Structure 1
Amino acid sequence: MQSILQYRRFGNLAEEQLATNPEKGIGSRNRNFRNIKDFSANGNGLKASVAGDEVSVVSSQDTLPNPDRPRETQRADKPPTNPSADPLNSSVTNEGGEDDTSDVSRVIIVGFEPENDPMNPRDWSFGKRLMVTIVVSFMGVIVGWSSSIDSGIIPQYAEEFGVSEVVASLPTGLFLVGFGTGAVMSGPFSETVGRNPIYIITLIVFMLLLVGAGLAQNLAGQLVSRTLAGIFAATPLACAGGTIADVWTPEEQVFAFPIYAIISFSGPVLGPVVGGWVGQSNLSWRWTEWVTLIGAGVILVIVIFFQPETYSPILLKWKATHLRRVTEDDRYRAEIELRQTSLPARLLLAMYRPVIMLIREPTVFLFSLYLTVAYIIIFTFFTGYEFIYEGIYGLTQGETALCFLGLAIGLLLCIPLIPLNAKLRSRDITRTKETDPVGKAPPESRLYWAMIGAPALPISIFWMAWTARPDIPFWSPLAASVLTGFGMLCIFITCYQYLIDTYGTYAASALSSLTLMRYLVSGAMIEVSIPFYKNMGVPYTLTILGCISAVLVPIPSIMLFPTFAVAAVFAGGTVALPTGDDAPFLKVVSSTEAIVGNSIWNATVGSSVVKPIYYQGKEIVGDAKGQYYSYVDQTESFNFSNATIVDSDDDFIDVQFTTSEGEQHWVIYRNQHGAYQYFINKDLPSPLGEWRSVSRLDNATFTNSHTTYRQGALPELSEIDSGEKVQDETWKLSDGSYITKYDWSDFINSAKAWGVYGDGIGCWYIHPSKEYINGDHLKQELMLHRESSTGDTVLLNMIHGLHFLTGEEHEFAAGRVWGPWLWYLNNGSVEDANAKYDEEVQSWPYSFPNADIAAGHHQRASSVSGFITLSDGRAASGASVMLGDNESDQVPAEQGANYYYRTTADSDGNFSFENVRAATYALYAWAGNNSDIGDVSTNLTAKGIEISESTSAINLGEYTWDTQNRTKIWQIGTLDRLACGFKNGCSGYHHGLSDESPADLEYTVNSSETSDWSYVQTAEGTWQVKFELSDGPASDAVAILSTSLAGYSSGVNIEITAQGGNVTVGELSDLTNDPSVYRSSTFCGLHRYEEFEVPAGTFVKGSNTIEFTVTKTSQWHGFMWDSILLEWS
């Protein structure tokens, strides 16, 4: 009922906001999500994928999108609108990516208003949020009560069914087993339909099963009913933490969670009190079920009529529904509506991951063990109090039950610790802000509860064990139980909050591990507790429990110490770790988060994103996304985990992070400004297109950029927003100029350092070798840009890029390595970055990765050389030479599955490659830039070149390159696969420069200059070449017209004719597209070469012409010329 009213109120609020300002969008997180085509739940929650449509977000600061061309928005995150902002809540993240597609359609992601949104649970009044907390706390009371109440009527139950007291304790034990099982499954359900429906449905089923337990006429019926009741009773236990996180911020939870814990924990303590008095009274033992049923009914009524829905994704779904209705715009969507992973799949994951974390995560296991021991103590009291207070002191069943109130008093003793712990946590935040302006408190600030309360547990158990004697009043063990309740709750609060802070988006799974282990084991221990107390007696039974709890007391204190030494053990052996204040370090925060760095910088490496990053005390990511890996059409972000030191010496550590797709490594030296990075493939998708690592950085810090061809300020986001989007990531400004990210491109295989800088800080990528990068000498790539939707400064590391190629994908073998490269930080000096590149080249190949990690990295030939002679006797002077794929159907420019080596032959045709990996290659050669053989249209390919590991130079000998062996008539440009020499050719990266190319052009051989020919032909019209023949050709003389294209962007066709159009020579059309022309390149794209035979008799003595006529055109598309060559065959 309350949820129905709340749903209607949402509709009214949406209408009111639209009526107040119809031109404004309705609240959001105000973040643009690029290219989302699929959402799926995986290990750390909801993931956005790439490729396809654009998804934007609107807020009250943004104009309502125009259906014809919605505008893009900047980002203004607010944690309460994002469920992933708090690990108690469902984890929802969205991953963008490099967008290389034009706008297709858009979805408007709905979110909350940045401030004071009445729809946002964290913006509700204090009283309303407190009421929500109290209601879920009392739900915890009633189900906890039900878990223990039957322990108070064990004698009556045993008499009713004629069984032993051990068997009579089964209803309590099996209820706890059901608790542990049901808690694992409740979360995914609540994250699909919301908190309230799950609370209501499970409470109703729970009540029906209580009726079944109360009416059961045989043992089997009672046990089945109690077990199933435990499963459905687990929902408040599993989902209450999520509800608390829904309505309170992380800092407010310092107060809210202990209040919830104190109230809800009283349930299992008070249950035996009621059960004992029911057992002693004239009432049937079945009244334990009826009393619980009444209490559950009261709670159910309160939930139905007064408890609002608090789960933000569901609330935003309601909001989106109303917005679609009010605006008649079907694009409004909540993130949860884009989720495609099925509920069964998420249930399977929810049950699988807690078990895995329990096995693999020492932190999870230790805290689960600790809390399990505490629960064993408390739940064995349900059967043990009979032996203590009835057996030793002769109290009645009801009086024994009252002794459980000592535990309840202990819970209340925790109240004074709430402000103390809040003060200690605040102190930790203040200390953290000295190095981290964000000031996020470390998980260790959650340990104070247990550090204070943990010793109380063994002390109280020993106290009770050896003072529970007839000659000592029962007040002594009763007073000890007060200390037991105090210690146990302190441990409970620490275990929950520490795991929440430590595991972030995996907190729900970590807590499920905690729940699963403690209830399954506690349920089993109830069955063995009676024999223990009977056979060993009270002192020895409690002494054993006291000793176990005493051994675990140091756990909270151990968690305060750095854990990188433990990580070294995980590597499977002992490694020597660097020492000293300047030593590189790894601090493992959780299985999915670790901090790496040295005394100069540090970075937090999460499961999918590296953020924050500090350099010399300054955080350099800010509101940007951070550093991450991604590939095209990726549907889920990488899920890196298990940070491990796999190699080290006194100066460095090699830290490995694993995921199913592969391993990312950070090699960190003392006093190094940055880190070496590399990635080893395990199971990347196959075949794979673009694949990169990306650093998205603070746009206020990094305002400038450097590539070989462009240096200076990046455009402001406001400039981009002011322009008209005319194509993929390209905007036309009011003055007619353009902004496009492709203007920041470069030849990646010859580039030195590229990076961004500002405010005294520079961030760079430096590749001393390009052996692991795809393509040939002329491989171009997008290097950096301003992200158009968020304003992030984006530094790209396109280790397998296709921005200027045709999109050829490759299959990568397991073990394929990209890197190592240097991620370098400095003061922003370009000169220093380039000097650092020169220094790193001298150090290649690095000593890492070691042979155990990547054996092929060390299996090399130190030098491979040879020389090439043309068949006409000339040396292959200036030829581009490459060792590439053997037996490949791809041209060198599009090869990329393996490793590649590129060089340029000297004036004598000699070539040499250094540090070549052992493998079988093909040798490729073609006329290179500024070569002396720019009239040679053929290529050299020699296959089957086996290179083995060798410290000596390998000489391949001489190769003969067959030329076309024709007589040249004339040539425009040189054959080097570049547009250099032509007008505007090789002039850098400038969008729209093709507009300067004329529609009609006349070129006269021996009169015109090469620069009179334009680098690209795109407009409808004719380019004519005029030439004279001094001698008449033989009657059977056939000419060959060779057209060499530096690049081609589809949408333009050329008809080739001769003699004023009277002779048809051929056509250039239907070639595979490369994006070079429309992505700003004036150099090249993918080289294409076509030969046309001109019939004998076409050319005559005197004047002749050849025409290139564009018959089909498309703006910023066309033919980028390399050379045109006419020869006699």
Structure 2
Amino acid sequence: MASSPVSNNGSDAITEATPTDIELARMTSYSKQDDNFIVTFAEPFDAENPKDWRTGRKWAVTDVLSATGFNRIMVSTIIAPALSTISTEFNKNSAESAMALSIYLLATAFGPLVIGPLSEVYGRKQILHVSNIWFVIWNIACGFAHNKETLIACRFLAGFGASAIYALANGVLGDVWRPEQRGRSLSVYLLIPLLGAAVGPIIGGFMANRTTWRWMFWATSIFQAVMILVSFTAFRETYEPLILRKRADRIRRETGDTQYYTLDERLHAENSAVRVLGRALIRPVRLLIFHPIIQIASLISAFYYGILYIVLSTFSDLWIDQYHQSVEISGLHYIAVALGEIAGSQICGKLMDSLYHRLKARANGEHAPELRTPSVFPGALLGPLGLFLYGWAAQYRLHWAVVDIGAFIAMLGMQITSMPLQAYVMEAYPEHTSSAGAASQFARSLTAFLFPLFAPTMYNVLGYGWGNTTVALIGLAVGLPAPLVIWYSGAKLRARAQPIY
């Protein structure tokens, strides 16, 4: 990477990039007298600036979001071991049974497209509270469903509320943590939610054998109710434009002078509230359609996210059908999946920060989102390697530990691949991190919904060996060239992209 374009034109990634809303407001002409009435954060330190908060408060906000994400993601997979039981009770076919699991993920594709922009109008805190309550209501309703139609509908509505975590995570982490802390903050934030996807089937396996499947929803709703109480006390507003608007309102009331304003207010001064909201709601769609870097980052992330849910949805069946283990024991193998993701997040957090500091120094101290890209490549090689080992070990029914090691390596690699891409999207769109995250999440959730639907057929036709080999080869074809495009052309693509208002 010594001759990388980022080291030569790291400044170009900033000077050529599409102006953000705040930068556009700064470029709007105003008189010198107006300078005295602009309400901004004080430099170099402002106690109300989320990036200047004490570390304890930053971690409190991050941890609340992380714990909430754990529960919402766990609910996506907890019913996997009970699908056969639910299918029998409701007389469902195999497609309808898979739909009960996947419909939740489909909702997480569309939810962020609405929730992300709303958080850039009304703030992160209010949206978090509303989505928490929405989610717990419909998750409880799932436990009371008495037919397959009601269960699927309630799962979709619960997933819509749960999707707020995907919309808010990028925004909140971007609000409170600086680029130099990106790797550590992401690794700590992801530590608990990553457990959720893998722990869900483990808990579900034991509950499926020892109680009714309905308690899977009621138990997670009780946990969510506790998190609602915690979020009301520990979560603070982090969205900078909203914090500054409240400061400007306070100054206007105290002084009686209506000339005070924020840059965000100036930018939208001539727009009605309806127009501002309308622009916000179409922002993720515009990003997804017109911004190549969102498309490229989404393509890579979506593919590996879909593979994750292939593993999560079929892993239990492998142990039950091929190794003839009980439902409870089959769930324990998800520990390998969880450990792989956790190890990947912790390794990648340190790798990201270390490479970032090194590449930033090489680029004469200039920050550029493309500096995150090199961290992708180790994972792009490890992920397919793990899938290959897992597939052929399962095909020949080698010792269970070999299969689990393959799954561990696959999850390790996929996590190392996805974290830098998440950081890249956050830093490429600093003023609209939630909308950019929502655009990226759309493709991820679609693959998480669709891939498990064809996975059983793929394994029945190709077997675990050739099935995973096919997926691994596609992973190499997607996971290596695409980051190179971002590395060499990311700054130019951002500069040519349409402005986001």
TMscore range, shorter length: 0.7 to 0.9
Aligned twin of 2:60: 131
Greater percentage in strand: 1
1:544-565 CA distances to partner (integer Å, 9 max, x unpaired)?
Answer: 22221122231365237633xx
> 1:805-816 to 2 correspondence within 5 Å?
none
Question: Is 2:206 the counterpart of 1:277?
Answer: yes
Secondary structure of the corresponding residue to residue 133 of structure 2:
helix
Distance 1:475 1:270, change over 3 A: same
Separation in structure 2 between the aligned mates of residue 188 and residue 359 of structure 1, nearest angstrom: 16
Q: 1:484 aligns to what SS in structure 2?
A: helix
Distance in 1, matches of 2:27 and 2:375, equals: 36
How many angstroms does 1:516 deviate by? Answer: 0.7
Q: CA deviation at 1:590?
A: 4.8
1:290 is matched with which residue: 218, 231, 235? 218
Write the distance in 2 (CA, Å) between the matches of 1:284 and 1:342. Answer: 52
Match of 1:96 among 18, 28, 50: 28
Number of positions where the alignment pairs a residue of Structure 1 with one of Structure 2:
481
In the TM superposition, what whole-angstrom CA distance separates every residue of 1:706-744 from its partner, at most 9, and x where no partner exists?
xxxxxxxxxxxxxxxxxxxxxxxxxxxxxxxxxxxxxxx
- 2:112 and 2:166 in contact (8 A); partners too: yes
Map residues 389-788 of structure 1 onto 2, 5 A cutoff.
389-414=319-344, 415-433=346-364, 439-469=365-395, 471-503=397-429, 505=431, 508-555=434-481, 558-559=484-485, 562-563=488-489, 589-593=491-495
What does the per-residue CA deviation read over 1:300-328, in whole Å, with 9 as the maximum and x for residues that have no partner? 11100121122222222232333233333
| Ranges in structure 1 where 5+ consecutive residues have no aligned partner | 1-42, 47-83, 85-90, 434-438, 564-587, 595-606, 608-638, 642-658, 660-1129
Distance change in 2, residues 1:258/1:161 (3 Å): same
Query: What is the alpha-carbon distance in structure 1 between the residues aligned to residue 362 and residue 132 of structure 2?
Result: 45
Change (3 A) 1:228 1:116: same
Q: How does 1:1042-1057 map to 2 (within 5 A)?
A: none
Q: Distance in 1 between matches of 2:286 and 2:120?
A: 21
For 1:805, the equivalent position in structure 2 comes to: none
Cα distance change, pair 591–307 in 1 and its aligned pair in 2 (3 A)? same
Retained in 2: the 8 A contact 1:185–1:347?
A: no
Deviation at 1:211, TM superposition (A): 1.5
- The answer for the alignment partner of 2:85 in structure 1 is 156
1:380 CA drift (Å): 1.4
Q: Give the CA deviation at 1:293.
A: 0.6
Aligned to 1:325: 253
User: Does structure 1 retain, via aligned residues, the 8 Å contact 2:105–2:448?
Assistant: yes
Question: What is the distance in 2 between the residues matched to 1:463 and 1:417?
Answer: 22
What amino acid is aligned across from residue 256 of structure 2 in structure 1? E
2:188 to 254, 259, 263: 259
Would you say 1:192 and 2:121 are equivalent positions? Answer: yes
CA distance in 1, matches of 2:129, 2:488: 44
Task: Report if aligned partners of 1:502, 1:589 keep a CA contact under 8 Å in 2.
Answer: no
Q: Which amino acid aligns with 1:589?
A: A
- How big is the shift at 1:265? 2.4
Answer yes or no: is the 8 Å Cα contact 1:136–1:240 preserved in 2: yes
- Distance apart, 1:215 and its partner CA: 0.9
In the alignment, what sits opposite 1:300?
228
User: What is the CA-CA distance between 1:523 and the residue it aligns to?
Assistant: 0.6
- Which residue matches 1:143? 72
| C-alpha distance 232-476 of structure 1, shift in aligned 2 (>3 A) | same
Cα distance in 2 for residues equivalent to 1:336 and 1:357: 20
How far residue 508 of structure 1 moved from its aligned partner, in angstroms, is 4.6
1:115 aligns with 2:27: no
Q: Which amino acid aligns with 2:416?
A: C
The verdict on how the C-alpha distance between 1:247 and 1:364 changes in structure 2, with shifts beyond 3 A counting, is closer
Measured in 1, the distance between the counterparts of 2:272 and 2:82 equals 43
Instruction: Indicate conservation of the 8 Å contact 2:174/2:433, yes or no.
Output: no
Separation in structure 2 between the aligned mates of residue 421 and residue 561 of structure 1, nearest angstrom: 15
Aligned counterpart, 1:30 = none
- Name the CA distance, whole Å, in 2 between partners of 1:428 and 1:95: 30
Conserved 8 A contact 2:337-2:411: yes
Tell me, yes or no, if structure 1 residue 376 matches structure 2 residue 302.
Answer: no
**Residues 882-1031 of structure 1: pairs in structure 2 closer than 5 A:** none
TM-score by length of 1: 0.40
**1:200 to partner: Cα distance:** 0.6
Q: Is the 8 A contact 1:261 1:489 kept in 2?
A: no
Deviations 1:985-1038 (A, max 9, x none): xxxxxxxxxxxxxxxxxxxxxxxxxxxxxxxxxxxxxxxxxxxxxxxxxxxxxx
On the 8 A contact 1:175/1:231 being kept in 2, the answer is yes
> Partners of 1:476 and 1:344 in 2: how far apart?
57
User: In 1, distance between residues paired with 2:494 and 2:410?
Assistant: 34
Distance (Å, rounded) in 2 between the aligned partners of 1:233 and 1:125? 29
Deviations 1:774-807 (A, max 9, x none): xxxxxxxxxxxxxxxxxxxxxxxxxxxxxxxxxx
| 2:37 alignment partner, SS class | strand
Structure 1's 267 and 92: CA in aligned 2 closer, same or farther, altered over 3 A? farther
Distance 1:432 1:211 in 2: 52
CA distance 1:92–1:164, change in 2 (3 Å): farther
CA distance in 1, matches of 2:274, 2:317: 46
Match of 2:244 in 1: 316
Task: Go from structure 1 to structure 2 and tell me whether the alpha carbon gap of 1:590 and 1:219 turns closer, same or farther (over 3 Å shift).
Answer: farther
* Contact in 1 for aligned 2:60/2:234 (Cα 8 Å): no
Structure of higher RCO (CA pairs closer than 8 Å, 6+ residues apart): 2
**Could you tell me which residue of structure 1 aligns to residue 4 of structure 2?**
none
CA shift at 1:156, angstroms?
A: 1.3
Asked if the contact 2:340–2:407 (Cα under 8 Å) also holds between the matched residues in 1, the reply is yes
The match for 2:173 is: 244
Counterpart contact for 1:468–1:477, Cα < 8 Å: yes
Q: What is the CA distance between 1:432 and its match in structure 2?
A: 1.2
The residue type paired with residue 468 of structure 1 is: A
Q: Distance in 2 between the 1:319 and 1:264 partners?
A: 34
Conserved? CA contact 1:151–1:172, under 8 Å? yes
CA contact (8 A) 1:188 1:346 kept: no
1:365 Cα deviation (Å)?
A: 2.6
User: What do residues 874-911 of structure 1 show as CA deviations (whole Å, max 9, x unaligned)?
Assistant: xxxxxxxxxxxxxxxxxxxxxxxxxxxxxxxxxxxxxx
| 1:220-272 deviations in Å (ceiling 9; x for gaps) | 11111111111111112111211112211121223212222333222222222
CA-based RMSD of the aligned residues comes to: 2.8
Task: Tell me the residue number matched to 1:1060.
Answer: none
The 2-side partners of 1:92 and 1:301 are apart by 39
Q: TM-score, normalised by structure 2?
A: 0.88
Aligned partner letter, 1:202: S
Matching residue's letter, 2:394 = A
Deviation at 1:124, TM superposition (A): 1.6
Amino acid in the other structure paired with 2:73: G
Structure 1 distance, partners of 2:432, 2:209, is: 46
Q: Which has the higher helix share?
A: 2
SS in 2 for 1:512: helix
**Separation in 2 of the partners of 1:191 and 1:640?**
16
Compared CA separation, residues 348 and 175, structure 1 to 2 (3 A): farther
* Aligned mates of 2:332, 2:457 — CA distance in 1: 24
Measure how far apart 1:496 and its partner are: 1.2
- 1:385 is aligned, of 297, 315, 325, to 315
- In structure 2, the residue corresponding to 1:455 is in which secondary structure? helix
Asked if structure 2 preserves the Cα contact closer than 8 Å seen for 1:276 and 1:398, the reply is yes
Q: Is the Cα contact below 8 Å between 2:117 and 2:435 reproduced in 1? A: no
Letter in structure 1 aligned against 2:28: G
Query: Structure 1 residue 117: deviation in Å?
Result: 2.4
